[in-house]
């Protein structure tokens, strides 16, 4: 099936990412066919816009009045973009020739496919999967996300083991293809998340609504990762724990909600204790702050749950590991998805 790429908008959200635009935008412009290339700018102050105007006048810019973060930044930008498909692409991603075609053709083949991602490899080490996305996202029964090709800190070498097409649980926000009408119908990305795990929440809502989330290993991109917050940053710890808990509250069926949340609270406290023992007191405090923030905004999360949960029967969700990835990794020492 042939698809007209002119109906696709590749949208890069930028915030003071001049050096990434200088390094990676040339490959996107060169290798994205007739797709419209757009940079949505979160009120950068580093000369990003001047650079784009001088060196890439063919790239459309959307200027946002302040830094709305990843989620609301994309929500506001995509309200101004008309296309059949959006590609949410991080500014620190390089792409090879023909990278969009396999994914767009797959989405054209089935209208129930709402989201799709390619294989994501590490820019610095192209033979390895990249932490954010790898070979497609999965989740365990307690809501811990992981990827084919990456379990916690263990990243696999790409040996073609994920060169397939299959349904997954979530697609990485570093390079996420999404149907524009579904994006808007589902209300876009969760604005209160600001950043981190927003793509998992969106994909979960899409799956609850009966759509599919797919991985296509016949296309690949190369991602630097960690371009905004370092993984040990307490702010990132706060967002991951706060958003991970809210993710469960928003999307789980009622029968699974309370027991899952109780176990997650216990495991979060264990994680905080491990951080204290490792000398990461600020990260441990961030975990407790995340729980406090959830309680203080409980009415908002309750309203989001009520608004976004399916009205009828929940569909069967593929891409869920029926066990605990924490137990398998830290206790049973399993290091790859194949071992699970």
26 or 2, greater pLDDT: 26
- Distance in angstroms (rounded) separating the CA atoms of residues 43 and 62: 10
- Number of domains observed in the structure of the chain: 2
How do 137-140 and 320-321 pair as beta strands?
parallel
The answer on pLDDT for 135 being more than 70 is yes
> Residue 330 falls within a domain, yes or no?
no
> Residue 331 falls within a domain, yes or no?
no
- Give per-residue pLDDT as tens, 164-208: 999 999 999 999 999 999 999 999 999 999 888 999 999 999 999
> Residue 339 falls within a domain, yes or no?
no
Lowest mean pLDDT among 8-12, 101-105, 130-134, 300-304: 130-134
Structure tokens at 248: 């469960």
Same domain, 9 and 46: yes
Backbone angles phi, psi at 220, to 5 degrees: -145, 150
- Give per-residue pLDDT as tens, 62-96: 999 999 999 999 999 999 999 999 999 999 999 99
- Give per-residue pLDDT as tens, 100-133: 999 999 999 999 999 999 999 999 999 999 988 9
The answer on pLDDT for 42 being more than 90 is yes
**Domain range for residue 294?**
234-322
Same domain, 140 and 245: no
Same domain, 180 and 317: no
- The residue-averaged pLDDT of 215-223 equals 98
- Distance in angstroms (rounded) separating the CA atoms of residues 98 and 253: 40
What mean pLDDT value characterizes the chain? 94
pLDDT at 159: 97
The answer on pLDDT for 5 being more than 80 is no
The answer on pLDDT for 229 being more than 80 is no
**Domain end residue (candidates: 203, 223, 243):** 223
- Give per-residue pLDDT as tens, 46-67: 999 999 999 999 999 999 999 9
> Residue 203 falls within a domain, yes or no?
yes
Structure tokens at 281: 């007191």
pTM score of the predicted model = 0.94
Same domain, 265 and 219: no
pLDDT at 228: 44
Please report which confidence band the pLDDT of residue 153 belongs to, taking 50, 70 and 90 as the band edges.
confident
Please report which confidence band the pLDDT of residue 310 belongs to, taking 50, 70 and 90 as the band edges.
confident
- The residue-averaged pLDDT of 323-337 equals 94
- Distance in angstroms (rounded) separating the CA atoms of residues 13 and 135: 23
The answer on pLDDT for 216 being more than 50 is yes
Same domain, 217 and 238: no
Structure tokens at 137: 């996202």
> Residue 282 falls within a domain, yes or no?
yes
pLDDT at 312: 73
- Give per-residue pLDDT as tens, 244-292: 999 999 999 999 999 999 999 999 999 999 999 999 999 999 999 999 9
Same domain, 170 and 269: no
The answer on pLDDT for 308 being more than 60 is yes
Tell me, letter by letter, the H, E, C secondary structure of the chain: CCCCHHHEEEEEEECCCHHHHHHHHHHHHHHCCCCEEEEEECCCCCCHHHHHHHHCCCCEEEECCCCCHHHHHHHHHHCCCCCCEEEEECCCEECCCCCCHHHHHHHHCCCCEEEEEEEEEECCCCCEECCCCCCCEEEECCCCEEECCEECCEECECCCCCCCEEECCECCCCEEEEEHHHHHHCCCCCHHHCCCCHHHHHHHHHHHCCCEEEEEEEEEEEECCCCCCCCCCHHHHHHHHHHHHHHHHHHCCHHHHHHHHHHHHHHHHHHHHHHHHCCCHHHHHHHHHHHHHHHHCHHHHHHHHHHHCCCCCCCCCCCEECCCHHHHHHHCCCCCHHHC
The domain that holds 137 is classified in CATH as 3.90.550.10
- Distance in angstroms (rounded) separating the CA atoms of residues 168 and 170: 6
Same domain, 25 and 52: yes
Same domain, 195 and 303: no
Locate tokens 């412009």: which residue? Answer: 29
Please report which confidence band the pLDDT of residue 227 belongs to, taking 50, 70 and 90 as the band edges.
very low
């Amino acid at each position: 099936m042939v698809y007209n790429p002119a109906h696709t908008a590749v949208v890069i959200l930028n915030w003071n990412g001049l050096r990434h635009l200088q390094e990676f935008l040339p490959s996107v412009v060169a290798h994205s066919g007739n797709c419209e290339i757009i940079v949505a700018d979160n009120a950068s102050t580093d000369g990003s816009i001047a650079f784009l105007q001088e060196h890439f006048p063919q790239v459309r810019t959307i200027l946002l009045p302040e830094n709305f973060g990843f989620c609301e930044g994309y929500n506001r930008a995509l309200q101004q973009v008309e296309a059949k498909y959006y590609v949410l692409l991080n500014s620190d991603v390089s792409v090879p020739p023909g990278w969009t075609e396999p994914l767009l053709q797959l989405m054209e083949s089935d209208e129930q496919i709402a989201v799709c991602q390619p294989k994501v490899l590490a820019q610095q080490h192209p033979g390895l999967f990249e932490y954010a996305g790898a070979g497609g996202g999965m989740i365990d029964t307690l809501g811990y996300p992981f990827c084919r090709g990456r379990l916690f800190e263990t990243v696999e070498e790409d040996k073609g083991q994920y060169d397939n097409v299959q349904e997954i649980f979530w697609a990485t926000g570093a390079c996420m293809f999404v149907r524009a009408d579904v994006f808007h119908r589902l209300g876009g990305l969760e604005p209160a998340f600001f950043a981190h795990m927003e793509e998992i929440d969106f994909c979960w809502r899409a799956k609850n609504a009966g759509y599919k989330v797919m991985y296509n290993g016949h296309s690949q991109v190369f991602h630097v990762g960690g371009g905004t917050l370092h993984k040990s940053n307490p702010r990132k710890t706060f967002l991951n724990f706060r958003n991970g808990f809210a993710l469960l509250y928003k999307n789980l069926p009622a029968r699974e909600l309370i027991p899952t949340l109780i176990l997650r609270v216990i495991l979060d406290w264990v994680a905080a204790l491990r951080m204290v023992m490792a000398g990461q007191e600020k990260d441990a405090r961030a975990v407790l702050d995340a729980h406090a923030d959830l309680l203080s905004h409980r009415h908002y999360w309750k309203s989001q749950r009520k608004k976004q949960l399916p009205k009828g029967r929940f569909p069967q969700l593929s891409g869920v590991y029926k066990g605990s990835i924490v137990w398998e990794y830290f206790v049973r020492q399993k290091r790859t998805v194949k071992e699970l």
